[in-house]
Amino acid sequence: MLITSLATVSVPATPAEAASSYGAKAVAIAASKEGAPYAYGATGPRKFDCSGLTLYAFRKAGRTLPRTAEQQYRSTRRISRRQRTAGDLVFFPAGSTMAHVGIYAGNGKIWHAPRPGTRVRLEEIWTENARYTRAN
């Protein structure tokens, strides 16, 4: 049998491209929650804390994350700052634990639920001490 045409199949060439399909969805979901109020322990859909927002966005995008920032950090693959791409997780350490997490949006910015009294927003990464991971 002679095959005269092949169907085009899109296969990710790099881990970043593989992450981008669900990562892009997670970024869009987080962005859709802009202005939602911060509430400690909240996981959406109307209120969030930092890890509640990441958990919610990734769950809606088709990936499962654990509940807290520390658990999310431990369960995802470390990447360098140079490897980060939209949809990766950005962690902010305090002592020996991860105290805060957001979703990398590109261009040095994250979507996050900052702290009590604030709302979900897009913000510049404010420290060089941030750590980056990718949900597999």
Tokens describing residue 104: 């990398």
What is the pLDDT at residue 38? 98
- Output the tens digit of pLDDT for each of the chain's 136 residues: 333 333 333 334 455 554 557 889 999 999 999 999 999 999 999 999 999 999 999 999 999 999 999 999 999 999 999 999 999 999 999 999 999 999 999 999 999 999 999 999 999 999 999 999 999 7
| Residue indicated by tokens 């899109």 | 10
pLDDT value of position 10: 38
Give me the count of residues in the chain: 136
Tokens of 78: 């470390």
Give the homologous superfamily in CATH for domain 15-134.
endopeptidase domain like (from Nostoc punctiforme) (3.90.1720.10)
Token pair 């400690």 in the structure block, residue: 40
Query: Could you state, in order of their start, the residue ranges of all structural domains in the chain?
Result: 15-134
Active site positions, annotated: 50, 100, 112
**What does the pLDDT read at residue 19?**
54
Looking at residue 20, its pLDDT comes to 59
User: In this structure, how many other beta carbons lie within 10 angstroms of the beta carbon of residue 12?
Assistant: 11
